[in-house]
Amino acid sequence: MLDLDAYLARIGLRGRPSIAEVHRAHATSIPFENLDPHRGVPVSLALEDLHGKMVSRRRGGYCFEQNLLLKAALETLGAEVDLLLARVRLGAPYGALRPRSHLVLRVRAEGASWHADVGFGAGGPLEPLPFGPGATHRQSGWRFRIAQDGPELVLQTAEGDDWVDLYGFVPEPVPLVDVETSNWFTSTHPRSPFVKGLIVSTQRPDGSRTSVSNWNGLALTEQTPAGETVTPVAEDAVPGLLASRFTLPGFVLGPNGRLVPATNG
């Protein structure tokens, strides 16, 4: 069982908040990061490990960790939650088939069905969306919608007058063992971008986003709905950025140039 009070304190809430309140608070409190797979440590999806990492030690995590922690919290609050696996489309060439390496949640609560996702590091929704194709939803200046594409539902975001696909998924629940298999590939396979590269990101309630990544050259990116700035950074500056911009203190550069905890943890 999840320690709900400790989780809510981690995201700045207490009592019996709504699904939307929990989603927004989680999305703006717990950073997205792949520091463990990037340094060669496989990601555990056991609830006690997720709670220990993201709640007790105040770390972040990537999609499987973030959304499984959210699932546990929402279920403790009385919701029914299904696991769905998605293929990331953002940045993929047209027609490219990527593996199902992203976790999405379908939440049934408060008399409705919701699309929930606090683990899309490239800028996902701050609040849950009504499940299935529908209207455009504006959240802190960003616009999202869910579109139908054959058997898949596709989460899209607006860039100017254009809609950009973020990921697509078949709305059929999968068992945890399928999620564990996808997580094992994502956190250990040498071709996985989460093993090869670094990405740490945060979202704030006002809609601003900050990330540091080496996927396209090591840089700090700051975004608002009005635009973005990209600032190249030196490798030895990253530990300080993690502490000052992402609430992730205690990391140093290891001998292989990977970020490692200054002490075990």
User: Would you list the domain boundaries of the chain?
Assistant: 4-261
Q: What is the pLDDT of residues 118-130, one digit of tens each?
A: 999 989 999 999 9
- 4-261 architecture in CATH? 2-Layer Sandwich (3.30)
Of 63, 137, 149, 162, catalytic: 63
Query: DSSP strand E in the chain: where?
Result: 32-33, 80-88, 100-109, 112-116, 129-130, 137-139, 142-149, 152-159, 162-169, 199-203, 209-213, 219-224, 227-232, 251-253, 259-261
Tens digits of residue pLDDT in 45-92: 999 999 999 999 999 999 999 999 999 999 999 999 999 999 999 998
Residue 117 annotated to the active site: yes
Mean pLDDT of 205-226: 96
Contact 244/232 with Cβ under 8 angstroms? no
Catalytic status, residue 26:
no
Residue 264: predicted pLDDT = 62
pLDDT surpasses 90 at 265 = no
Picking from 214, 221, 201, the residue whose alpha carbon sits closest to that of residue 258 is 214
User: Of these residues, 36, 102, 115, 165, which one is catalytic?
Assistant: 102
Q: Which of 117, 161, 165, 189 is catalytic?
A: 117
